[in-house]
Amino acid sequence: MIDGFYILFYLQRVESWYSVTPEKVAQHIASRCKASDVVIDGFYILFYFQRVESWYSVTPEKVAQHIASRCKASDVVIDGFCGCGGNTIQFAAVCQKVISIDIDPAKLRLAQHNASVYGVSHKIQFIQGDFFALAPSLQGDVVFLSPPWGGPEYARSSFSIDNIFPEQGGGRRLFQVARGISPNVGYYLPRTSDVFELIPLAGEGNVCEVEQNFVGRKFVAITAYYGNLVRRKDRAS
């Protein structure tokens, strides 16, 4: 079975990132393909580009396992931006049910495929659509947010959540939309995020917990937890 994304997951499992084509090189090759006037099977190209993008947008497996372990007491987890399934698969491994949403049907197909490789498809309801539009109709115990960060630029300087979906009111509004479903929210964000933007999201008198996520020694991201996902005993809400 030759499937690029399955290979990616395999590489993550054995932590052999060395053998993955470096992102910049992959981007360069992709840009050369884009400019090409050779008629190549469109579906293959679509998958090719999806794979390149998914290489840098998927949550590393060990991090996704850890985040899922913090949500394992939950019956229903909503993964609002499931991509190719990095988090969804790990939630499904430890929770009763996962509702996994993505606006991009090609990403959903990859997620469905990857979930079947991991044997967890029966626990996942996949929905294609816009999280903002679907949110009022969703019910769940935990909402996990792993929105697009806008490409690799996030790594260069301090990241503001205002850069997330600016056309929808930014990352603060996204958080409020999620909180309309459940007070228990996990927000997966760039390591360069300004934590002083994340603390007030908890609301007055409440606390949030901001966790740094490492793969080996590499600081890859942060996850902010709200509601009963916060481990402190004196949490409110």
Residue 104 binds ligand SAM, judged by CB under 6 A: yes
Among 6, 11, 45, 57, binds ligand SAM (CB under 6 A): 57
Amino acid identity at 5: F
Residues 6+ apart with CB under 8 A from 122: none
Identify any residues that bridge with 124 across adjacent strands, giving them in sequence order.
Answer: 98
**Quick one: which segment of 7-15, 25-33, 52-60, 155-163 binds ligand SAM (CB under 6 A)?**
52-60
3, 47 Cβ separation under 8 angstroms: no
3-class DSSP assignment, residue 185: strand
189, 198 Cβ separation under 8 angstroms: yes
Closer to ligand SAM at the Cβ: 164 or 230? 164
* Residue number with the smallest Cβ distance to ligand SAM: 86
Among 5, 55, 78, 107, binds ligand SAM (CB under 6 A): 107
Among 8, 52, 76, 84, binds ligand SAM (CB under 6 A): 84
Instruction: Tell me how far, at minimum, the Cβ of 110 lies from ligand SAM, in Å.
Output: 8
Task: Give the number of residues in contact with ligand SAM, rule: CB under 6 A.
Answer: 21
Residue 116 binds ligand SAM, judged by CB under 6 A: no
Among 15, 23, 130, 153, binds ligand SAM (CB under 6 A): 130
Closer to ligand SAM at the Cβ: 100 or 184? 100
Residue 148 binds ligand SAM, judged by CB under 6 A: yes
Element (H, E) at 142: strand 142-145
Closer to ligand SAM at the Cβ: 150 or 200? 150
Q: Alpha helices, DSSP H only, in the chain?
A: 4-14, 23-35, 42-57, 61-70, 86-94, 105-117, 131-134, 170-179, 195-198
Residue 174 binds ligand SAM, judged by CB under 6 A: no
| Total count of residues recorded for the chain | 237
Strands 185-190 and 218-225: antiparallel
Q: Which residues contact ligand SAM by CB under 6 A?
A: 57-59, 81-87, 101-104, 107, 130-132, 146-148
